[in-house]
Structure 1
Amino acid sequence: MATVLATPLFSPLAFSPARNNLSCSKIRFDSKHGRILNSNGAQKLNLSKFHKPNGQSTRFLQMGSSKEMTFERKLSVQAMDGAGTGNTSTISRNVLAISHLLVSLGIILAADYFLKQAFVAASIKFPSALFGMFCIFSVLMIFDSVVPAAANGLMNFFEPAFLFIQRWLPLFYVPSLVVLPLSVRDIPAASGVKICYIVAGGWLASLCVAGFTAIAVRKMVKTEMTEAEPMAKPSPFSTLELWSWSGIFVVSFVGALFYPNSLGTSARTCLPFLLSSTVLGYIVGSGLPSSIKKVFHPIICCALSAVLAALAFGYASGSGLDPVLGNYLTKVASDPGAGDILMGFLGSVILSFAFSMFKQRKLVKRHAAEIFTSVIVSTVFSLYSTALVGRLVGLEPSLTVSILPRCITVALALSIVSLFEGIHFSSSSSSSPLPNTLKNIHNDFLEHFQGPIRLLQQL
């Protein structure tokens, strides 16, 4: 039977792709008769005469075999060298990717920090992150119109930071849920029921208002319905990440238990295990089946994980739950907790929305009328309806003010609440009638949001 002759027997040049294909197509070895045949079947060389009667190979073939083995060893060494070079290049790429992420994310965090400082110095109560988001989006749109390559370059540069924020986005909203047991402790049960009623019912009402507004505007402007461009999904969490964070949690939990002030303060000492417990809850919650995540959302999972970790530490240390939750969110810049670290990303989350909007600029432009009209109408409805219902059900004025921005993201809600700090609701209808209260809200709203509304209408 004729078989293809192994190319290493001939020349090292046979390992080039072109030479290898040529040799294999023209030369065959007939193992039955010990002959080398060309592609036409003609005999080129008879190897039987190089064998001794006892079946042992001559020195010629032994030398050839030795050369072949030496050549194969050289190939093995070269392959190992190639693998080493590949590993080195992989490490270099990983280091470069991490450096790229740190630089791009650091720029966004720095921009958020300096914007906050500038707005505070200028006594501007408008959310600085929202202003920054509009600026970034405007710059990207201008570059896209004038120099598209510059816009693509900016997007590519900040893409690692954008994907990082997108991947860990739910974590940045968790701290408020983790410390919820401390927030609701001083609220009377009756007021708590009213708040739940307003938040749940108001969420459904605002959703309906936004939906019906979008549908009505779509019918009026006759928007063409097309499929949205697919967005890149964050990469799933690996087993290495799960075990790494688990190790951090165990080590930091035990260390904080035996050395409660090893990092200077209890908040700093508790920070590693409270942060890792929150991250672990999010990783585990993200890996749950879709049917379970519809009810048990990853945000709930990581908040519950952090509370259970705080409860376990409070029980083991004898301090109780309240001090540990107090260390989770201190709101002190010089002594931050795990929640302060996470909430420090909220401004950068708003800034990153500019890149999301730019990626979906075609969709935003096509549905601009529905998007901005429904957002403005539903936001105004939410503010006014919350104040009205809070008044009707007799909710305390301070609690009514705290839930006014119930349909606004946490990153902006904190700033929105500050806009209404001067507004006081009274339970007595004679001293502060409802129309005057709503009028004050209306005037304050227009004073601070007149510019952004005009900007939204122009986009």
Structure 2
Amino acid sequence: MDKFLKKAFVAAAIKFPSALFGMFCIFSVLVILDLTVPAAAAALMSFFEPALLFIQRWLPLFYVPSLVVLPLAVKDIPAASGLKICLIIAGGWLASLTVAGYAAIAVRKLVKTEMIDPEPMAKPSPFSSLEIWSWSVIFIASFVAALFYPTALGTQARTCLPFLLASTVLGYMVGSGLPSQVKKAFHPIICCTISAELGAFAYGYFSRSGLNPVLGHYLTKVGSNPGAGDVLMGFLGSVILSFAFSMFKQRKLVKRHAAEIFTSVILSSVFSLYSTALAGRLIGLESDLTISILPRCITVALALSIVSLFEGANSSLTAAVVVVTGLIGANFVQAMLDKLNLRDPIARGIATASSAHGLGTAALSAKEPEALPFCAIAYALTGIFGSLICSVPAVRQSLLAIVG
């Protein structure tokens, strides 16, 4: 379905991410079946359950490739400007998280909707020592083979693919097995990224090719010459489609709390855009760089389409900023939600996805699967509302006026 939708959207010249559209389509089909033929909806859910558990088990891994190649995206940014951007990203993430979370609770109190317990969600099994040893053997064997036969599979990207993929997977497995207290400050996504970077660095050192060329082989974005990152990101569309099943499981809560979901997402989207523009102006960040980081809380595909509406924007910087925002969210979101006393899965899910999009969604839902449906909805709606807001000429002009 993911492949079909991608081809259809390309043929129709539609820039909106096809997977988000597909997610809402699957959710609608399940709801209609549940109303007309409940047994068919139950059978469909039962059929896809093993695949959903597989995706849930590996979910953060599919968002890692952009983090691994981050050094290539930011290498040309001046240090002073980079520091200002980091300040805006960190402060903006915390502000957006707070606004979305408390807005959800405030609207709930306003409409007087009582919170009910979510449907229990199955948790995937932990990784076994056999799996870790198996991937370790794959890494060592493929690394040695790549060193001695650098074009054995036709291109260097294909030759590097097995050991770079194995190093990424190994890092995620090891990170997932760390004690819970350690994971609060050192998320498996960080461990996974570092592991992949170390694998690339080791190959670059022993082959004397350097780190950057190897990272270039990690994510080529060329279908005929894929790297390890391309393989992992190839799952992303299917992952987003699968969110529909989690949303359907919590359909009663979704319907019951629609007011706070929509209101908090809209408020958070508007706040994120204008607060970023204002912060850039106040700390003296160059206007072209400020424009490039405006959609920091929106998923990469839509963020790139938003900055294309502004002249002089740096799309590479946009992608890098979105990834770093997600990284901060993935690493600190659970601890920060606890400190802000946001306890229920609805507020936690909305706040996470509204401030840290896919990476934050993957990180939180790996530990709190009951929050995934609300992450998924906020993840999609934040991108949709952000795109709609920025497509209005008056809004773009007001943002440019603030940026200066």
Same fold (TM over 0.5): yes
- Structure 2 residue corresponding to 1:256, chosen from 146, 149, 164: 146
Aligned 1:274-353 pairs, distance under 5 A: 274-353=164-243
Deviations 1:74-113 (A, max 9, x none): xxxxxxxxxxxxxxxxxxxxxxxxxxxxxxxxxxxxx112
- TM (norm. structure 1) is 0.67
Contact 1:423 1:441 in 2 (8 A): no
Structure 1 distance, partners of 2:296, 2:151, is: 38
- Does 2:149 match 1:271? no
Equivalent AA in structure 2 for residue 328 of structure 1: Y
Conserved? CA contact 1:386–1:400, under 8 Å: yes
Distance in 1 between the 2:304 and 2:138 partners? 36
Match of 1:128 in 2: 18
Q: What is the aligned partner in structure 1 of residue 399 from structure 2?
A: none
Q: Deviations over 1:316-336 (max 9, x none)?
A: 111111111111111111111
Paired position in structure 2 for 1:32: none
Q: Residue 151 of structure 2 aligns to a residue in which SS?
A: coil
**Residue 446 of structure 1, CA deviation:** 5.0
Give per-residue Cα distances to partners, 1:189-210, cap 9 Å, x unaligned. Answer: 0111111111101111101111
Query: Between Structure 1 and Structure 2, whose CA radius of gyration is higher?
Result: 1
Q: Retained in 2: the 8 A contact 1:214–1:371?
A: yes
Between the aligned partners of 2:292 and 2:242, the Cα distance in structure 1 is: 26
Question: Quick one: which amino acid aligns to residue 445 of structure 1?
Answer: S
Match status 1:189 vs 2:79:
yes
Percentage of pairs with the same residue:
75
> Shift of residue 442 of structure 1?
7.1
RMSD over aligned Cα atoms: 1.9
Deviation at 1:414, TM superposition (A): 2.0
More helix by share: 2
Identify the residue that residue 65 of structure 1 maps to in structure 2: none
CA shift for structure 1 position 443: 5.8
| Larger RCO: 1 or 2 (CA < 8 Å, sep 6+) | 2
Residue 365 of structure 1, CA deviation: 1.9
Q: Give the alignment partner of residue 377 of structure 1, picking from 238, 247, 267.
A: 267
Cα distance change, pair 323–192 in 1 and its aligned pair in 2 (3 A): same
Q: In the superposition, relative to structure 1, how do residues 442 and 190 fare at CA in structure 2: closer, same or farther (>3 Å)?
A: farther
* Rounded Cα–Cα distance in structure 2 between residues aligned with 1:334 and 1:395: 39
Distance in 2 between residues matched to 1:155 and 1:389, nearest whole Å: 45
Residues 1:402 and 1:356: Cα distance change in structure 2 (over 3 Å): farther
Structure 1 unmatched ranges of 5 or more: 1-110, 427-439, 448-459
Aligned counterparts of 2:163 and 2:154: Cα–Cα separation in 1: 16
TM-score (norm 2): 0.76
| 1:417 maps to which of 266, 280, 304 | 304
CA deviation digits over 1:168-222, x for unaligned, max 9?
1111111111111111111100111111111101111101111221121011111
Contact 2:295 2:306 in 1 (8 A): no
Q: Counterparts of 1:24-423 in structure 2 under 5 Å?
A: 111-408=1-298, 412-423=299-310
Return the letter of the residue paired with 2:308.
E
Mapped to 1, the partners of 2:204 and 2:311 lie a distance apart of 38
Give structure 2 stretches of 5+ with no counterpart.
314-385, 394-404
Q: 1:231 to 1:183 in 2, by over 3 A?
A: same
The letter of the residue matching 2:300 is: A
Structure 2 Cα separation of the partners of residues 349 and 441 of structure 1: 22
The Cα shift of 1:415 comes to: 2.8
Q: Is the Cα–Cα contact under 8 Å of residues 282 and 302 in structure 1 kept in the other structure?
A: yes
Question: How far off its partner does 1:388 sit?
Answer: 3.1
Size of the alignment, in residue pairs? Answer: 321
1:401 Cα deviation from its structure 2 partner: 4.2
CA contact (8 A) 2:302 2:387 kept: no
Instruction: Pick closer, same or farther for the CA change 1:232–1:446 going to 2, 3 Å.
Output: farther
Is the partner of 1:387 in helix, strand or coil? helix
The letter for the 1-side match of 2:182 is: I
